[in-house]
Amino acid sequence: MTRTLILPGYMGSGPDHWQQHWLNDNPGSEFVEQDDWERPDLDTWLARLEDRLDVSEDVILVAHSLGCLLAARLAGRASAEKIRGALLVAPCHLDRTEQLHPDAIDFGEMPEKRLPFPSLLIGSLNDPYMPFEQCRRYASLWGSDLIDLGYAGHINVASGFGRWTNGYGFLSLFKRNRPAGFAGRLPEMASHRAFRGLVRDRRLLP
């Protein structure tokens, strides 16, 4: 059975966050809990994630914000072999995050290695934590397909993303495709005009 590991960002994901709803709505999902959500430390967070990967097989990562950078840090590590794919929603840039939360986060430099597993980066045109042009850059560096979700803020509760059931469609792309047939790219529908129209249509967003 495919296991979904949910990777929250800074301060975790509260009860109304879409990640919490996804945990409740999807059997086989698990939060990767951290001891200190208020002062994220890369080494500590990475060790906790790899502990979960050590006892798991056939994993999909669902990451938000700082959790996306945690997922990206798996590049070059043996534990990455367990991962079928990663959904990277609203990644943050460490420089911008440091400006917004001074002295709170110890996450080193931005990860830039290409990911050894398929990944989909979902970005926003007005995300305060990462301008969309930087989303383009990191999608290219990581080898991720990129979805423009329009003016969606940080894709969190504050920008109207509570349960976000429409996001399940992105998750299902990974569940329908085996790595051998994936070749590091999403199905053709990910670049199809109708698909782009779906994710930009505000009536279909939360």
Does the pLDDT value for residue 196 go beyond 70? no
pTM for this predicted structure: 0.87
Would you state the pLDDT for residue 177?
55
pLDDT-derived band at 204, boundaries 50, 70, 90: very low
| Average pLDDT score over the chain | 86
Indicate if the pLDDT at residue 198 is higher than 90: no
Query: Rounded CA gap, 58 and 172, in Å?
Result: 14
59-108: per-residue pLDDT in tens? 999 999 999 999 999 999 999 999 999 999 999 999 999 999 999 999 99
Distance from the Cα of residue 78 to its chain's centroid: 20
Backbone phi and psi for residue 183, each to the nearest 5 degrees, phi listed first: 55, 30
- Show me where the domains of the chain are located: 3-204
Instruction: Tell me how far apart the alpha carbons of residues 82 and 91 are, in angstroms, rounded to a whole number.
Output: 22
CA dihedral 81, 83, 87, 88 (to 10 degrees): -40
Q: Which residue has the tokens 């792309």?
A: 173
| Residue 202 scores a pLDDT above 80 | no
Cα–Cα distance between 206 and 203 in angstroms, integer? 8
Distance (Å, rounded) from C-alpha 154 to C-alpha 65?
8
- Report residue 28's pLDDT band, with 50, 70 and 90 as the boundaries: confident
Three-state secondary-structure class, residue 59:
strand
pLDDT at 186 over 80: no
**H helices within the chain, ranges in order?**
18-25, 42-54, 66-72, 94-100, 132-142, 168-175, 179-182, 193-200
Task: Give the SS3 label for residue 6.
Answer: strand
The topology under which CATH files domain 3-204 is: Rossmann fold (3.40.50)
Distance CA 171, CA 174 (A): 6
74 phi, psi to nearest 5 deg = -75, -15
Determine how many CB atoms are found less than 10 A away from the CB of residue 87.
Answer: 27
**Integer CA distances (angstroms), 102 to 7, 17, 170, 192, in order:** 22, 23, 33, 41
pLDDT of residue 140: 96
